[in-house]
Structure 1
Amino acid sequence: MYRIISSKLIVPSKCIQGLNFPVVVPSVSFYEIRKSGYEDRTQKKVSTRQSIRDGLKELKKEIKNWTEEVKEGCTFDPIMGMPLPGEVDKQWCFNENAKFDDWVVTSDSDHDEGYSTSSLSISPTGKGLFSGNLSTQLVRDGKVKRAGYCNMRSIRPQKSFKRDSFHDWSGYTHLVLRLRGDGRSYMITLGAAGYFDVNWNDQFHFALYTRGGPHWQISKIPFSKFYMTSKGRIQDAQEPIPLNRITGFGITACDKNNGPFRLEIDYIGLEMDPSHKEISAYEQYKVPYFYAGY
């Protein structure tokens, strides 16, 4: 862990190769490091000149995005923006014009932790196709204890100038998916970043059951049924999803059944049901007010 003492940052000696004593650096050089995730091995070093060129192009693009945000804010009608009961607002549609760059597809083999493979592509019917092969075979490195997962996840929304943003789903009560599965069970994941670092790994899950066969199905899942986990562990103190701070949506194949899987997706949408009054399907605990939270 880092410690800030007298406006200076103390860096552990093990962080600096060849040094056996703490190194003091100015606190202005501190930057936030996420404790979860993997390093980007595909990132390449570029020259200073090329970095300046890329930066100027990016600045022009971000100014254009900022202009669009200002125009949208001035013309937004809060009445027309309210969801209509029983109407599905499609958040993501999968067709030939879909932007697959907005999705990240990973599996355990991408991090040398297994042999599963997965991909997101266009199906023969022109819809999104999340498919691959699931394998629970372990890598013989003496470290990996469990294997067998494939995941597709949306990237976090951003405002202009690379500012992190959120999906605001506070006006909706249900998640709606139109899909065609293979009979497997999948896991739906909703990310919701909190204000404090202890909330960075909070996620909300619910099972997605599919039918095999040629027919499409519509899965309508109340947000109140999602349960909270942190670093993969189900928490005793459950709480409702902060729907105004959704950072991402994901689907994971991890049912421990070796073999190919196939999930065809038409759209992922949201619906508001006025008759649904449940906030959370799980027991709520009262904690002291000095606890960090929302």
Structure 2
Amino acid sequence: MVMYTKISRVISTILERQHVTAPLARQMSFWEKDRRGGYPSTSTEKRSEFWHIRNGLSLLGDELRLFKREVIERFENDPVLLYRENEIDVVWRFDGDEKSLSNWIVTADSDNGEGYSNCRLELTKSGRGLFSGHLDTRLPKTGDIKRAGYCNIKTVRARKSFKREANYDWNPYNHLVMRVRGDGRSYLLNISTAGYFDLMWHDVYHYVLYTRGGPYWQYVKIPFSKFFFASKGRVQDKQEPIPLDSIVNFGITAGDKVTGPFHLEIDYIGVIYDPNHKEEFAYEMYRTDKNIAAH
């Protein structure tokens, strides 16, 4: 920690002497200021203290009910009863309730000034979730954008009562299951395991979901061992299995580089334990001696 502080002071001194602007200095720092990875905050409106107090009191009832449920679950928790073989435990379901949409965050490249795509998440007439929109791979004429054309939905951060951050513990399971109805496009499934330090904020495990299209529902069962590790969209050289006790949120991305409309209808997303699956990790890693480079 002392060495890190000294290095930071040296760099700050160099930047001051060279009259480097503040935005560039922040860009060259070793750490990230917020979890949005450099994107501006979505909320710029200033609120009064009275507004915060009134808003906090309005949320008190929901937080107390959530705390009560936590206490009850603590006493009722029994792994033998809760985690049965080949039985799906649904984590997110669209059952016709508008509240189910509040569990998701919808974004597109146009929201950040990086493209022209747009998307939405809404309920169908049958009460299922419909992730749809229009992908546009055109690049903005800003000169700093190299790739465009993505839409994304992800769940809100797992939390406990009184806004305490929490993680999903999927250790008893080894498969992700979904019931979806697609359009023939491929979608990217994202399992985020953002850690405490800024270096781990953007740790995500990915796997590609291939849809058939057509009028029939598709049951998808994907082993967690098939998900590969990436950070900020880049596949990492050092791969490792998902830490299933540190799941922060789950997301789906449409970005197959094909301009046009897309739609993915979702019934539920859950997890399951299959005792016949023995694979720990699907990707074999080769280790070499130090100072040895392969060609």
Question: TM-score surpassing 0.5?
Answer: yes
Matched, 1:70 2:71: yes
- TM-superposed CA distance for 1:202, in Å, is 1.1
Closer, same or farther in 2 for the Cα pair 1:286/1:242, shift >3 Å? farther
Q: Which moved more, 1:143-152 or 1:32-41?
A: 32-41
Which residue does 2:102 correspond to in 1?
101
Contact persistence 1:94–1:267 (CA under 8 A): yes
Gaps of 5+ in 1: 22-30, 288-294
- Give distance in 1, aligned partners of 2:36 and 2:61: 33
Identical aligned residues as a percent: 49
SS of corresponding position for 1:99: helix
Aligned amino acid, residue 156 of structure 1: R
Do residues 272 (structure 1) and 273 (structure 2) align? yes
Matched AA of 2:236: Q
Residue in 1 aligned with 2:187? Answer: 186
**Hey, which of these two has a bigger chunk of strand by percent?**
1
Change (3 A) 1:10 1:80: farther
Contact 2:206 2:227 in 1 (8 A): yes
Q: Does 1:227 align with 2:237?
A: no
d(CA) in 2 for partners of 1:49, 1:12: 39
Question: TM-score, normalised to structure 2's length?
Answer: 0.83
User: What amino acid is the match of 2:57?
Assistant: L
Amino acid in structure 2 at the alignment position of 1:94: F
Residue identity in the other structure for 2:215 = P
- Distance change in 2, residues 1:11/1:49 (3 Å): farther
- C-alpha change, 1:210 and 1:73, in structure 2 (3 Å) is same
Going from structure 1 to structure 2, the CA distance change for 1:71 and 1:32 (only over 3 Å counts) comes to: farther
Instruction: Give the direction of change, closer, same or farther, for the CA distance of 1:264–1:258 in structure 2 (3 Å limit).
Output: same
3-state SS of paired residue (2:114): coil
Per-residue Cα deviation, 1:30-80 (whole angstroms, up to 9, x for no partner): x96336252333342122222222233445543443233223212323321
Counterpart contact for 1:156–1:247, Cα < 8 Å:
yes
> Given residue 88 of structure 2, which amino acid in structure 1 is its aligned partner?
V
Aligned mates of 1:64, 1:12 — CA distance in 2: 48
> Retained in 2: the 8 A contact 1:237–1:285?
no
- Map 1:59-208 to 2 at 5 A: 59=60, 61-81=62-82, 83-97=83-97, 98-208=99-209
For 1:268 and 1:63, locate their aligned partners in 2 and report how far apart those are by CA, in whole Å: 27
Distance 1:215 1:199 in 2: 39
CA shift at 1:113, angstroms?
A: 0.8
How far apart are residue 190 of structure 1 and its match? 0.4
1:246 is paired with a residue whose SS is coil
Give the drift of 1:11. Answer: 11
Q: Which has the higher helix share?
A: 2
Q: Which runs of 5+ in 2 are unaligned?
A: 23-31, 289-295
Which residue number corresponds to residue 252 of structure 2?
251
| Paired residue total | 272
| CA distance in structure 2 between the aligned counterparts of 1:32 and 1:168, rounded to whole angstroms | 28
Work out the CA distance in 2 between the residues paired with 1:209 and 1:183: 7
Moved segments of 4+, more than 6 Å:
none
Q: Deviations over 1:262-292 (max 9, x none)?
A: 11111111111101010100124679xxxxx
Distance in 1 of aligned mates of 2:88 and 2:12: 52
TM-score normalised by the chain length of structure 1: 0.83
**Aligned-pair CA distance for 1:95:** 2.4
CA separation in 2, counterparts of 1:250 and 1:272? 21
Inter-partner Cα distance in structure 2 for 1:205 and 1:37: 22
Matches for 1:277-292 after TM superposition, within 5 Å: 277-284=278-285
